[in-house]
């Protein structure tokens, strides 16, 4: 019998950073993921040309020197985070690239180069930024590549349990993506469904049967009635606080107009501003 060698394609994670201490959270989570499953990590810094030029330094050679300086800064920044975690670098790359709009550059690079995920830290946002978007929320709103948003205070720890918050729409399609992410990490998955006032009756047994039909993975089911005096986001946050999972998975609807985004804010985007745990966001079909 002739054995055939199968080429294993390693999944890739793009990890943007602006060299700030807050951005280290995204690096820490990506490094943790790679310690549990062989992801290829690319650490990415995009800069505006103004960063490279000054009144007395505008020649092409000076621009190249500026790029080399940023490349060295990125390499050293990544080395520092690995050293802080006492982790070993394997299958990592550091990329520096010019940009006008950072979130657009991140999306474009991730899409063109076949990345599985974008992992970025989030720092919250004021009212103005909630309307016009931070880099993280813009990625969640528009990226074709799934986005992992990591709270700035995240400390690396093994990913053991994941909450998948679901509205039960497109359950079959969504479960495949959730399991594909969770299974290599050997993480438990809990499907959390918070009922809405328009649901006349929620049959947990029917949902549980559907989960078993659509997925061979052992997934726990948690159906919860919301506190009517609180928003859906507040109810989600309360559920997260009770369960204290390693991370959360949600799906968001991206094909909304600007005014829909402004006045009917996506619950996923709103939730991302007040993260307590890392959040993986897939786009709904």
Fold match, 12-151 / 161-283: yes
| pLDDT in the model for residue 258 | 40
Fold of 12-151: Rossmann fold (3.40.50)
Residues in the chain where the model's pLDDT stays below 50: 1-7, 55-57, 124-133, 257-265
Helix (H, G, I), strand (E, B) or coil at 224: strand
Give me 255's structure tokens: 């094909």
Q: Which homologous superfamily does the CATH classification assign to the domain defined by 161-283?
A: HUPs (3.40.50.620)
Q: What residues pair up with 224 in beta bridges, in sequence order?
A: 194
Among 256, 285, 248, smallest CA distance to 172 is for: 285
- Give the per-residue pLDDT at 241: 85
- Calpha distance 28→178 (Å, rounded): 21
Q: Give the strand pairing for 188-194 and 161-165.
A: parallel
Residue 50: predicted pLDDT: 63
- The neighbour count for residue 277, using CB atoms within 10 Å, is 18
| pTM for this predicted structure | 0.84
Q: How far is CA 279 from the centre of its chain?
A: 6
> pLDDT at position 223, please?
85
| Residues 232, 238: Cα–Cα separation, whole Å | 10
Domain locations along the chain: 12-151, 161-283
pLDDT in tens, 230-255: 777 778 888 888 888 999 998 887 65
Q: Per the structure block, which two tokens stand in for 87?
A: 């982790």
pLDDT at 125: 46
Task: Give backbone dihedrals phi and psi of 86, rounded to 5 degrees, phi first.
Answer: 55, 40
pLDDT for the residue 133: 46
Contact between residue 283 and residue 254 where contact means Cβ atoms under 8 Å apart: yes
Torsion of CA 147, 148, 152, 157, to 10 degrees: -170
pLDDT at res. 127: 41
User: pLDDT value at position 256?
Assistant: 54
Contact 207, 223 (CB under 8 A): yes
Please tell me the predicted confidence (pLDDT) of residue 210. Answer: 81
Report the distance separating Cα 245 and Cα 247, nearest Å.
Answer: 5
């Amino acid at each position: 019998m002739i054995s055939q060698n199968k080429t294993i394609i390693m999944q890739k994670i793009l990890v943007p950073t602006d060299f700030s201490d807050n951005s280290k959270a995204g690096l820490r989570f990506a490094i943790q993921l790679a310690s549990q499953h062989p992801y290829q990590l690319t650490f990415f810094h995009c800069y505006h040309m103004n960063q490279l030029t000054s009144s007395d330094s505008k020649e092409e050679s000076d621009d190249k020197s500026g790029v080399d300086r940023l490349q060295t800064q990125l390499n050293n920044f990544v080395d520092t985070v690995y050293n802080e975690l006492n982790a070993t670098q394997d299958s990592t790359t550091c990329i520096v690239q010019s940009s006008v709009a950072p979130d657009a550059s991140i999306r474009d690079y991730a899409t063109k180069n076949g990345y599985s995920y974008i992992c970025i830290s989030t720092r919250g946002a004021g009212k103005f930024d909630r309307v016009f978007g931070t880099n993280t929320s813009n990625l969640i709103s528009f990226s074709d590549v799934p986005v992992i948003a990591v709270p700035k205070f995240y400390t690396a720890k093994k990913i053991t349990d994941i909450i998948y918050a679901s509205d039960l729409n497109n359950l079959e399609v969504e479960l495949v993506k959730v399991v594909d992410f969770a299974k290599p990490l050997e993480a438990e998955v809990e499907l959390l469904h918070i009922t809405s006032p328009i649901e006349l009756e929620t049959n947990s047994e029917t949902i549980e049967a559907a989960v078993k039909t659509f997925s061979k993975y052992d997934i726990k089911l948690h159906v919860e009635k919301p506190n009517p005096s609180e928003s859906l986001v507040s109810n989600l946050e309360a559920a997260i606080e009770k369960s204290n999972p390693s991370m959360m998975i949600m799906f968001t609807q991206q094909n909304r107009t600007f005014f829909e985004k402004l006045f009917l804010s996506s619950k996923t985007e709103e939730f991302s501003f007040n993260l307590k745990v890392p959040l993986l966001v897939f786009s709904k079909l």
